[in-house]
Amino acid sequence: MSRIIIINGPNLNLLGVREKGIYGDQRFETYFERLRAQVAGVELSYFQSNHEGAIIDKIHEVGFSDDGIVLNAGAYTHTSLAIADAIAAVTTPVVEVHISNVYAREPYRHHSYLAKNCKGVICGFGLDGYRLAVESLLTK
C-alpha cells in the first residue's frame, strides 16, 4: 500500500471561500474525502499551512519515507527557494499541482522555483489536478 501526502500552501485553507471565480466553491476537505474514497490502495494524508517553514518541516518529515508528495505551494511556488531546496534534499518524488492555469494569470505566477526539482507539474484542471497527481505517482 502506497503512502502519499497532499501538502497545500498559503491561502489554500480558504478554498471554497476565497475568489470562487478562480478557485471554485468547494472546500478542500470535502474534495479530499471524495478523493480518498476514489483512490484505492493508497494511504492518503493531508497537510496545510500558511507558514513556509512549516511546509519545509513537513517535507523533511515525510520526504524519506512516504511514496509521494503532491504539493500545491500556492504563492510560495513563485518565491520560495527554501522549499525548492527542501524538495531537492528529500528522496520522495514530489508532483507540483496548481488548481488554476497559472500561465493564464499574472506574469509572476508563470515562474516556479520548485518545478525543476519536482518529478512533474500538473496545472489548470481545478481540484481534479490532485487526482491526476496521485495517479501519476502510482503509475511508474
Q: Which of 2, 46, 67, 75 binds a copy of itself (CB under 8 A)?
A: 75
Active site residues: 23, 98
Counting contacts by CB under 8 A, is residue 110 touching a copy of itself?
A: yes
**Closest alpha carbon to 127 in 1, 4, 33:** 33
Q: Which of 5, 86, 92, 130 binds a copy of itself (CB under 8 A)?
A: 86
Contact 140, 99 (CB under 8 A): no
Q: Give the cell for residue 54.
A: 512549516
Stretch that binds a copy of itself, among 29-37, 39-47, 110-118 (CB under 8 A): 110-118
Q: Which of 19, 25, 29, 43 binds a copy of itself (CB under 8 A)?
A: 19
Counting contacts by CB under 8 A, is residue 20 touching a copy of itself?
A: no
Spatial neighbors of 85 by CB under 8 A, at least 6 apart, are: none
Element (H, E) at 29: helix 28-38
**Closest alpha carbon to 63 in 139, 135, 128, 119:** 119
Counting contacts by CB under 8 A, is residue 112 touching a copy of itself?
A: yes
Counting contacts by CB under 8 A, is residue 34 touching a copy of itself?
A: no
Q: Which residues are annotated as a binding site?
A: 72, 78, 85, 99-100, 109
